[in-house]
Amino acid sequence: MENKHTKLMLAVFAVILMIGISFVFGYMLASLKEPVIQTSLSQDQQSLEALILTSNLDYTNTSLSCAILEAGIGTLSNNLNELSNELNSAMSGSVVTPQYSQLSNQLTYTRLNFWVLVQRTNEECGNKFVNLLMFYPGSSTCNGCVNEGQELAYISYISNYTTVATVLNAHANVSAVSALDRYYNVTTFPMLVINGKYIVKGYLTTPQIIQYICKYSSSSDLCKQNVSS
Amino acid sequence: MMYSLSEIAYLVLVILILLITFFWLMVYFEIFNEKEKTRKVKDYPKIAVVIPTLFEGEDLKKSVESVKKVDYPAQKISIYIGLNKASDEKTRKVAKSLESKRVHAIDTGVNGKASVMNYILKNSLKDEQFILTLDADSMIDRLALKRLLSMFDDEKVAVVTPSVAVYRPRNFIEKLQEYDYIFSMVLRKAFSKMDALLVAPGPGSLFRRSTLEKVGYFDEGNITEDMEIAIRLLANGYKIRNKINAFTYTVVPHTTLKLLKQRIRWYTGFFVNVSRYHALLDKEKASVSKSVILLILLSTALSIMVIPELAYYIYIDISGAYTTVTNIGINYLISTSLNDLYIYFFSFNEITILSLITLFIGLFYLMYALKGMKKTLDPVRDTLAVGLYITFFGYLLAFSWFYGALKAGMLRGDVKWRINTQS
């Protein structure tokens, strides 16, 4: 009997050791991932600042500044989406998340500034983009939020990034997000805002999203082409 | 960021699997590194070999021939072939053709394996002190009998069980079972070391006759009489030993369906017997380790949990893919799959590491058992076989345990042998 207990105690000790090793390596991995995400975020922030600067400068040639903005916004939209996916993956299913919440807030703030930039570009350059803003809940479950996020990424892709989507955690600890929550009265999820004015609540399939885009922004390239659903 | 409920459940499952694997791994280290206490066989007691038959036909010859070749004085062994009431003509003819001074073919006139064995034990035996049970489609190794006898070093030892191996595996299903039987050999040895071996398999278990008579022979209404007798012996304070290098060989099911039926029968029998005898096992005189039985039941529960766990993850993946395909299109699913692999690096965390450690320890556990039994390993063949065993056999076993538990629960122990007429 003693032999069995010794073995059981040794097994418990071995399991505790393995859990310890997993957490130590998990922490080391998280420490490796964090600078990778931080570097990407810094690069995106620099790109965004460059675009904001472009939009602020009083160019004699407005069409040139609009062309620069159009090209930059498409690329940055894609980069920010990927970065958001990377950060969400790094944060999910782990208690070892050093600095991640700070990075998450920075990214949210950057995405918000990006959305504002697209709004301004539309005003100055004549509605070149369909500007989509989607809210999802950070602290509760949401049926369809992940799928709708994927659909928005797909719509951006097939529109050759003339449709840009910004996905925001409505519960992010960022004061500007709280202000937007109040402004749009964000209570149900997912919630989609088209071009800053039109609000659609609840989950939408890809054809439904395209239908709404065409309803509120009929000049979009998406409305001219046949999209397979 | 805290864990979600499903992540906590997964983590608990992984930790329990790791704990159980480490525990049995330590028992395995002892099995393969310690010299076993045995008794040298000086006097040769008389042994009755009881072979119950049904429809085995020509296979019966191999079984009897294997007994005739064992390294043991021939005059000390008597072979009793028990013909079932339902035995076919072919099997009867083979049995009669094998009759000699040492081989007796007995028409018992009863149905059921346990009934046939009991008939012989009560009516046909002479002055034999030990009883070797042998299925009619099984063979005994030449050196097995002496090795089994060497383990009767204590009056409390009621039965010594052999290592049952697969006889000439041919197709894929039989070859996978070959590995399953090897892993079972080590596991049964481990169970016996922990006083928790709950089966005395039909192919080659050696019983002390006086003990078998005292506890009242085999249970004739039980679908797994080899488990029932083992549990009853333990409940009555007797010991069950295992001799890992005493081999017997058995013919195994050659189709998945037959294999599934066999396993469901075994595991239904296990649950029926454990539930029937759990009160007896709690008795003061019972020589069974209840904590280890609990560990075995926990291992079983964990293997059963693999099914809903797996089904849940498959459902999540398939429903996600289905939604993407129906809402967006298959092209998007394919194009994002590569990107998902890159994103996977970012989701690699402490739970992933612990899962990989558990997988590695689990593989080591299986390979260590394999190396212990086969002595040499073929790195390619054996690794591939173990991989296939885990992916294919693991789920088949989990399903069989699950279905067996369900059936035992539904039938509330009312599970009896049924003899189907031969097709």
Q: What domains sit in chain B, N to C, each tagged with a CATH number?
A: 46-288 (3.90.550.10)
Does B123 reach chain A within 8 Å, measured CB to CB? Answer: no
Q: Cβ separation of B327 and A91 shorter than 8 Å?
A: no
Q: Of B129, B88, B90, B123, which is closest to residue B106 (Cα–Cα)?
A: B123
The predicted-structure confidence for B309-339, as pLDDT tens digits, reads as follows 667 777 777 877 787 777 777 777 777 776 7
Does B384 reach chain A within 8 Å, measured CB to CB? Answer: no
Residue B422 has pLDDT above 50, yes or no: no
Q: Which residues of B touch A101 (CB under 8 A)?
A: 1
Distance (Å) from the alpha carbon of A213 to chain B's nearest alpha carbon:
16
Q: What is the pLDDT of residue B281?
A: 67
Q: Cβ separation of B343 and A85 shorter than 8 Å?
A: yes
Nearest Cα residue in chain B from A8: B23
Distance (Å) from the alpha carbon of B344 to chain A's nearest alpha carbon:
7
Q: Of B24, B30, B390, which is closest to residue B179 (Cα–Cα)?
A: B390
Question: Is residue B204 a contact partner of residue B129, using CB atoms and an 8 Å limit?
Answer: no
Parallel, antiparallel, or unpaired for β B77-83 and B239-250? unpaired
Residue B399 token pair: 């399903």
Highest mean predicted confidence (pLDDT) among B335-349, B362-376, B409-423: B362-376
> What is the residue-wise DSSP string for B12-76?
HHHHHHHHHHHHHHHHHHHHHHSPPP-----S---EEEEEEESS-TTHHHHHHHHHHTSSS-GGG
Q: Which of B35-39, B141-145, B356-360, B384-388 has the lowest mean pLDDT?
A: B35-39
Residue to mutate among B20, B349, B356, B364, with most A CBs inside 10 A, is B349
Question: Is residue B116 a contact partner of residue B123, using CB atoms and an 8 Å limit?
Answer: no
Q: Cβ separation of B327 and A206 shorter than 8 Å?
A: yes
Distance (Å) from the alpha carbon of A157 to chain B's nearest alpha carbon:
10
- What mean pLDDT comes out for the span B86-107? 93
The predicted-structure confidence for B260-311, as pLDDT tens digits, reads as follows 999 998 888 888 888 877 776 666 666 676 777 777 788 777 777 766 666 7
Q: Cβ separation of B18 and A18 shorter than 8 Å?
A: yes
- Of residues A19, A25, A147, nearest to B327 (C-beta): A147
- Of residues B194, B351, B354, nearest to A18 (C-beta): B354
Inter-CA distances, A72 with A108, A130, A131, A195, Å: 19, 15, 15, 19
The span from the CA of A70 to the CA of A93, in Å, is 37
Nearest Cα residue in chain B from A15: B19
Question: Is residue B12 a contact partner of residue B309, using CB atoms and an 8 Å limit?
Answer: no
Q: Rounded to two decimals, what is the model's pTM? A: 0.80
Nearest Cα residue in chain A from B194: A4
Asked if the interface predicted TM-score (ipTM) of this complex is over 0.95, the answer is no
Q: Which residues of A touch B18 (CB under 8 A)?
A: 14-15, 18
Q: What is the pLDDT of residue A182?
A: 93
Does B359 reach chain A within 8 Å, measured CB to CB? Answer: no
**Roughly how many angstroms between the first and final C-alpha of chain A, as a whole number?**
66
Q: In which residue are the tokens 């989406």 written? A: A81
Q: What residue ranges of chain A have pLDDT lower than 50?
A: 1, 226-229
